[in-house]
Amino acid sequence: MPKQLIKGNDALVKGAVLAGCRAFYGYPITPANEIAEAAAYYIPLAGGTFLQAESEVAAINMVYGAASAGIRAMTASSGPGISLMSEGISYIAGAELPCVVVNVMRGGPGLGNIAPEQSDYFQAVKGGGHGNYRCLVLAPATAQEMCDLTRLAFDLADKYRNPVFILADGYTGQMMEPVDFLTVDAHAQVTPEWAVDGTAETRKNLITSLYIHPDELEAHVRKLEAKYKRASEVETRWENYRTEDADVVFLGYGVVARILKSVVEMLRGRGIRAGLLRPITLFPFPSGEIRRLAKQAALFYVVEMSTGQMVEDVRLAVEGARPVEFYSRVGGNVPSAEEIFEKVLKTMEARAANSVEEVLSHA
C-alpha cells in the first residue's frame, strides 16, 4: 500500500480503527477536536460507537463501560479535560481495564491556552489520579508514529490491562506526513475472558476497583506494582540518534525531539559530537539507556516545552554522574533549532571558561 499524506490526528484515528478500536467517547476541546471528529466519522462506519459525552468525566466512564464489556475503547482530550478524566483513569487502572487515552497537550495551568506545551508530563507519567497506579505513556513524534504507537497502545493496554496514554503535542497532531498504514494489521477483537459482556460465559465476572479488606487491597496493589515493574523491564522504547560517539546527549520527546535532531546536525557541523536520545515510552522511562550513555557522554541536555518535568526523570537516571542541563520554552512557544543551538553553545562555554573542547575532554 502506498503512503498517504495525512495529519497526525487523522493517522491516529485510522490506526485506532485498524487496531480494533470500536468505541470512542469524547468531549470537545482544542487542540484534540480533530481526533474526535475523525472518530465520529470512521468508528461508526467500522461498526463501532462514537458518542460525544456531556463531560470528560462522563466520557472516561463510558470508556470504562465499553472496556468492561471487552471492547477496545479510547478517548482523546487535552490537559483540562484529562484533569477531569483523572478520576476515571484511576478507576480504570484500579479495575485493570484496558483503554487508550490521548492527550494532545496544550498550555496550562488552568485554561492556559491552546498552543502546544509539554506540561502534562507529570500528569500522564506520575499519576494524575489517586492511588498506586501508573499509566503506560507513549510519545509519538511523527504522523507514522501517531498511527503505529496507537496500535501499540491498544496492544499494551490489553497485555497489561491498564490505561495507556498517547502523549502528543499539537504539532504532531496538526502536521501532515506520509504514513504507511500497511504496517498496521487490522485487529480482530476477541472478548477477553475477564470481560462482562452480558452472556452466560461471562456471568461470573466482576469488574471492580474495590477491595474492602486491607490484605486484599495490598495484594491487589502489589499485583499492579509487579505489572508496572514487568512493563518497565520489557516495554521501554526509545530512539538513539547519532549517540554512538556523542559527548553531548540531548533528550526530548515529541516535536521537540525532531527539533533536537536539527540541533544535533548543526552541532556536528561545528565539530561537536552531539546525539539525541528520544524516549518513545515516557513510562516506562529509558533510564537504563540513559545510565549507559552516562558512561560515555560528558553532558546531558534536556529540552522540554515545560518548566522541567521529564528532566527530573533524566536526573534520577543519571544519578549525578554527569551534568544535566535544561532548556525550555513554555506558553505555546516552540523552541527553534537555532535558539537551542545558541543556548547550548553558551551553556557549554559557561561550563568551562576555556573551551567547549576542554569540557568535553573531561568526559
Partner 1 sequence: MPEMKQTHGKAQCFYDTYERKGELTHQTHYCPGCGHGISMKLLAEAIDELGIRDRVILVSPVGCSVFLYYYFDVGNVQVAHGRAPAVATGLKRARPDSIVISYQGDGDLAAIGSSEILHAANRGELITCLFANNAIYGMTGGQMAPTTLLGRKTTTTPFGRDKIKDGYPLHVSEVLSSLEAPVFVERVALGSTKQILAAKRAIRKAVETQVKGLGFSLVEILSPCPTIWKQDPVEAQKFVRETMAEVYPVSNKCDRTATAEPHPAPAPAPDLDELPRILKLPAAAPAGTAPRALREDLDCRIKIAGFGGQGVLLLGQLLAEAGMDDGLEVSWLPSYGPEMRSGTSNCHVRLASKPVDSPLVTKSSVLIALNEPSLDKFLEEVEPGGLVLYNGDEIPEDARRQDVTMRALPFFEIADEVGTAKAGNIVVLGALLEALPLLPAEIVDRAMARVVKGEKWLEIDRKAMERGRQAMNAVVSAVVSAVVSAVVSKEAHCHA
Scan for cell 497502545, then name that residue: 153
Q: Which stretch binds partner 1 (CB under 8 A): 49-57, 284-292, 305-313, 317-325?
A: 49-57
CB of 322 to partner 1, least distance (A): 25
Nearer to partner 1, 18 or 166 (CB): 18
The strand pairing partners of 45, in sequence order, are none
Angle between helices 33-45 and 8-18 (to 10 degrees): 30
Angle between helices 214-234 and 143-160 (to 10 degrees): 140
Task: Say how many CA atoms lie within 13 Å of 324 toward its Cβ.
Answer: 21
Cβ-based neighbour number of residue 28 at 10 Å: 13
Query: Cα–Cα distance between 137 and 167 in angstroms, integer?
Result: 7
The strand pairing partners of 167, in sequence order, are 103
Q: Which of 28, 130, 131, 199 binds partner 1 (CB under 8 A)?
A: 199
CA distances from 60 to 64, 84, 125, 128 (A): 6, 9, 18, 14
Per-residue binding string, partner 1, 205-244, x by CB under 8 A, is xxxxxx--x-------------------------------
Query: Cα–Cα distance between 240 and 264 in angstroms, integer?
Result: 12
C-alpha angle 226-230-236 in degrees, rounded to nearest 5: 140
Q: What is the size of the binding site for partner 1 (CB under 8 A)? A: 85
Nearer to partner 1, 67 or 153 (CB): 67
Nearer to partner 1, 231 or 243 (CB): 243
Q: Which amino acid is at 73?
A: A
Nearer to partner 1, 206 or 316 (CB): 206
Peptide bond before residue 178 is cis, with ω within 30 degrees of 0:
no
Q: Which of 109, 110, 188, 354 binds partner 1 (CB under 8 A)?
A: 188
Contact status: 71 vs partner 1 (CB under 8 A): yes
Nearer to partner 1, 191 or 232 (CB): 191
Scan for cell 528532566, then name that residue: 311
Q: Give residues with Cβ within 8 angstroms of 242, minimum separation 6.
A: 264, 268, 274, 275, 276
Query: Cα–Cα distance between 190 and 5 in angstroms, integer?
Result: 32
Nearer to partner 1, 88 or 284 (CB): 88
Nearer to partner 1, 24 or 283 (CB): 24
Contact status: 45 vs partner 1 (CB under 8 A): yes
Q: Which stretch binds partner 1 (CB under 8 A): 232-240, 261-269, 297-305, 353-361?
A: 261-269
Window 111 to 170, contacts with partner 1 (CB under 8 A):
113-116, 170
Q: Which stretch binds partner 1 (CB under 8 A): 38-46, 222-230, 232-240, 312-320?
A: 38-46
Query: Cα–Cα distance between 239 and 295 in angstroms, integer?
Result: 18
Q: How many residues does the chain have?
A: 363
Q: Which of 17, 74, 153, 356 binds partner 1 (CB under 8 A)?
A: 17
CB of 29 to partner 1, least distance (A): 14
Q: Which of 40, 122, 155, 174 binds partner 1 (CB under 8 A)?
A: 174
Q: Say if CB 73 and CB 67 are below 8 A apart.
A: yes
Q: Which stretch binds partner 1 (CB under 8 A): 119-127, 177-185, 290-298, 320-328?
A: 177-185
CB of 126 to partner 1, least distance (A): 21
CB of 141 to partner 1, least distance (A): 10
Nearer to partner 1, 1 or 353 (CB): 1
Contact status: 296 vs partner 1 (CB under 8 A): no
Q: Which stretch binds partner 1 (CB under 8 A): 130-138, 192-200, 226-234, 311-319?
A: 192-200
Nearer to partner 1, 232 or 240 (CB): 240
The grid cell for 99 is 483503554
Phi-psi region of 271 (alpha: psi -120 to 50; beta: other; left: phi over 0): left
